[in-house]
Amino acid sequence: MIPDNLHIGPIPIHLFGIFLALAFLGANWLFARELARRGYPADIASSAIVWAAVGGIVGARLWLVVERWQDFVRDPVGLLFTGSGFVFYGGLVGGAIAVTLVLRRHRIPWWDGADAAAPAIALGQAIGRIGCQVSGDGDWGQVTELPWGMAYPHAVVGWPYPPGVRVHPTPIYESVAYFAIVALLLWRRRRAAPPGTVFAWYLVLASGARFLVEFVRINPVVAMGLTAAQLTSLLLVFCGASRLWLGGRR
């Protein structure tokens, strides 16, 4: 990672914000391409991405409030405007609601729109995790002695360990996994399948990847030896697998 001290004159330019913008731009490009391939106007992607950004940020913050209610009660402003804590699953829910409204407005069947959006979501995740890596927003993993372990002394949320301590670079793990998922989804969507198949595979693969990475993350266990993200991942894997099973029966 590198220090988060870029400026244009007196205006700070945060690394995470740069990569978040790149994530939305990349997702917009791929979503437009997939819409056009399915015979829909490509320019719908731009409005969908804007609304997805708004809904995603709001959803991520609301999810954070639920996850860290006690911290929110102590310091609501500090929690809402901290440089970390953009919980992806909250962003996924908020963004999905916003994009659903756009799809309905343009009379695009929901499953068609979801299939077109799935590779774009994975691409956005892959780029966004690079932002987590370079800015050090607290998404690193547990202490490790593995040769690829890393330290984040310039982390925007502060580095709690003494010199010499290294941790799992979990943002890199996730980014590599999501780039691979993009490739798999683009390959899978070339095969004839019922609507919703590509999105279902996204839920299974992306949520499965997050479930596994959580074993070396620093998130607290909440139930059955699993973190909140792992429990949510299991639910989404089940939803995706159910859609694949129903599609197979048809």
- Per-residue pLDDT tens over the stretch 3-17: 555 555 555 567 788
Tokens encoding 10: 């007196």
* Terminal-to-terminal C-alpha distance of the chain: 49
Instruction: Judge whether 159 lies within some domain.
Output: yes
Instruction: Judge whether 75 lies within some domain.
Output: yes
pLDDT of residue 78: 55
Instruction: Judge whether 1 lies within some domain.
Output: no
Instruction: Judge whether 54 lies within some domain.
Output: yes
Instruction: Judge whether 2 lies within some domain.
Output: no
Domains identified in the chain, total number: 1
Most confident of 52-56, 151-155, 211-215: 211-215
Instruction: Judge whether 121 lies within some domain.
Output: yes
Q: What is the mean pLDDT of residues 100-108?
A: 89
Strand, helix or coil for residue 194: coil
Q: Are 153 and 137 in contact (CB under 8 A)?
A: no
Q: What is the mean pLDDT of residues 145-153?
A: 94
Taking 70 as the threshold, does the pLDDT of residue 71 lie above it?
no
Q: Report the percent of the chain where pLDDT is more than 70.
A: 82
Instruction: Judge whether 231 lies within some domain.
Output: yes
Lowest-confidence pick of 50-59, 70-79, 120-129, 201-210? 70-79
163 or 74, which is more confident: 163
Taking 70 as the threshold, does the pLDDT of residue 69 lie above it?
no
Distances (CA, A) of 44 to 30, 197, 232, 246, 247: 12, 22, 30, 29, 27
| Domain region containing 204 | 7-249
Instruction: Judge whether 215 lies within some domain.
Output: yes
Locate tokens 């695009």: which residue?
A: 108
pLDDT of residue 123: 96
192 or 94, which is more confident: 94
